[in-house]
């Protein structure tokens, strides 16, 4: 990473943690809640959300949900449990193998073909979010998101699956910043050191699936999104043109994932177009 970009992306860890903890306290309580619930995968993003939520609200007001599938890496569950023990927070383990396998057994017969890894992975992500929102209702707790800025921009996530949440403390942190802040708040070293993976199938890693590293993505995205340089200007700085174009096109192609559903306008005031209020309007 270029030294000037690395310096620009470097966080004031104490200040950043304080802002995000205040954000969680304010946004949870202003809509009438005291508790939060979140999925804990054993990865760095959900671990950081867990540490921030616990620091912000206290360990009695957070609940971690671990949702393994039969092909999930045993180390993922072990790492998630290390977070639970370190923070001493309540947790629930919900095995999702049964509902996932039952669904695809039925659908494979109905469609006459075996589901692709993409379909299975998306279904797992949505099954986990369905579980979180059910427990949200049961526990009267808001769902905390675990998607970082790099993933959200690239669309590297499942719409209405892992990209869904009521509140997201890490969605404006690039992946390199997630790593930096995670080290500061005390995320276990085993999580900090391992390759990022959605763990949707055996031997999956994020960077292998994306075709480029998170550091490469962060460096290009920061210049395009935050510095507002054009793709041509970024290429002129010495970056690979095909990679720059690919990343920019991926962000553009996945814009729909970052927006609420489009409503056809018929009336004078349409939700999301003319009828627009803050999330906490009325509280």
Q: Which residues participate in the annotated binding site for deamido-NAD(+)? A: 126
Q: Measure the CA–CA gap between 205 and 201, rounded to whole angstroms.
A: 9
| 5 — pLDDT class (breaks 50, 70, 90) | very high
Q: Read off the pLDDT of residues 233-255 as tens digits, 9 standing for 90 and up.
A: 999 999 999 999 999 999 999 99
- Please check whether residue 102 is in contact with residue 120, taking contact to mean a CB–CB distance below 8 angstroms: no
Q: At CB < 8 A and 24+ separation, what contacts does 133-136 make?
A: 133/164, 135/37, 135/63, 135/65, 135/92, 136/37, 136/166
Q: Which residues participate in the annotated binding site for ATP? A: 39-46, 146, 175, 197
Q: So what's the pLDDT on residue 172?
A: 98
Q: Read off the pLDDT of residues 117-167 as tens digits, 9 standing for 90 and up.
A: 999 999 999 999 999 999 999 999 999 999 999 999 999 999 999 999 999
User: What mean pLDDT do residues 179-192 have?
Assistant: 97
Contacts of 44 (CB under 8 A, 6+ apart): 178, 179, 182, 187, 191, 192, 196
Q: Which residues participate in the annotated binding site for Mg(2+)? A: 45, 151
Q: Read off the pLDDT of residues 193-218 as tens digits, 9 standing for 90 and up.
A: 998 887 776 677 888 889 999 999 99
Q: Which residues participate in the annotated binding site? A: 39-46, 126, 146, 151, 175, 197
User: What mean pLDDT do residues 254-269 have?
Assistant: 94
């Amino acid at each position: 990473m270029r030294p000037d970009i690395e310096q620009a992306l470097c966080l004031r860890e104490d200040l950043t943690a304080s802002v995000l903890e205040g954000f969680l306290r304010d946004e949870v309580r202003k809509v009438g809640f005291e508790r939060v619930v979140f999925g804990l995968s054993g990865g760095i993003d959900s671990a950081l959300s867990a540490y921030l939520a616990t620091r912000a609200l206290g360990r009695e007001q957070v609940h971690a949900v671990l949702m393994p599938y039969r092909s999930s890496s045993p180390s993922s569950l072990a790492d998630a449990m290390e977070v639970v023990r370190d923070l001493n927070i309540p947790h629930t383990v919900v095995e999702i193998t049964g509902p996932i396998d039952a669904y695809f057994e039925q659908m494979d017969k109905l469609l006459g073909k075996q589901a692709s890894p993409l379909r299975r992975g998306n279904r797992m992500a949505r099954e986990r979010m369905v579980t979180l929102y059910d427990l949200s209702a049961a526990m009267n707790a808001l769902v905390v998101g675990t998607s970082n800025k790099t993933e959200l921009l690239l669309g590297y996530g499942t719409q209405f699956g892992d990209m869904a949440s009521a509140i997201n403390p890490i969605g404006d942190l690039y992946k390199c910043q997630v790593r930096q802040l995670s080290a500061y708040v005390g995320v276990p070293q085993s999580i900090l050191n391992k390759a990022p993976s959605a763990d949707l199938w055996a031997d999956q890693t994020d960077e292998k699936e994306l075709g480029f590293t998170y550091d490469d993505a962060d460096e290009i995205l920061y210049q395009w999104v935050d510095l507002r340089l054009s793709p041509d200007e970024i290429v002129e700085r010495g970056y690979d043109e095909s990679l720059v174009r690919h990343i920019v096109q991926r962000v553009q192609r996945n814009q729909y994932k970052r927006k609420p559903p489009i409503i056809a306008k018929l009336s004078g005031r349409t939700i999301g177009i003319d009828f627009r209020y803050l999330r906490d309007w009325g509280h």
